[in-house]
Amino acid sequence: MTIGDRQPPEFKRGQVLRAADLNSLAQSVAAILSRFQGNQVQGEILTGKLDGNLNAATSFANSPATATLSVWVKDENGNYVEATRNVTVTNRFENLNFVAGQILRVQWIDGEWQPVAADCE
């Protein structure tokens, strides 16, 4: 089992795990935790729509703006549908504003969701 496994094996009741299985599980959990604690520079990319305006940062270094993004995912027919997940987007760009309803792609960077692409006019 690795962090990339989407369908890890199911363990049977009473099954004994080998040391290698436990080590693999521990490594996968540690990798996931470090990702959400900001120890990984880049990570997952999400697509969604902004729930409100996302203003430009006052300062890239210490005064970013934030807004909520409703995440959208593909359904079994290949169409995008709104998921039940919302994330807080942190905008560190000092010259880019985004408006409510705008489609954004955000990436987990340094412990926060940052915009990396947008649907613009």
Q: Give pLDDT, residue 4.
A: 56
Residues in the chain: 121
| Beta pairing partners, 82 | 72
Q: How many domains does the chain have?
A: 2
Distance from chain centroid for Cα 7: 19
Residues 69 and 17 reside in one and the same domain:
no
Q: Give pLDDT, residue 111.
A: 85
Question: Tell me: the pLDDT tens digits for 32-45?
Answer: 766 665 554 467 89
Residues 55 and 91 reside in one and the same domain:
yes
Question: Tell me: the pLDDT tens digits for 51-82?
Answer: 999 999 999 999 999 999 999 999 999 999 99
Residues 9 and 31 reside in one and the same domain:
yes
Distance from chain centroid for Cα 43: 7
* Domain range for 4: 1-40
Residues 60 and 72 reside in one and the same domain:
yes
Q: Which pTM was predicted?
A: 0.66
Phi–psi pair at 85, nearest 5 degrees? -110, 135
| CATH (domain of 111) | 2.40.50
Residue 38: CB partners within 8 Å, gap ≥ 6?
110, 111, 112
Residues 77 and 36 reside in one and the same domain:
no
Residues 19 and 52 reside in one and the same domain:
no
Question: Tell me: the pLDDT tens digits for 2-16?
Answer: 555 567 677 788 888
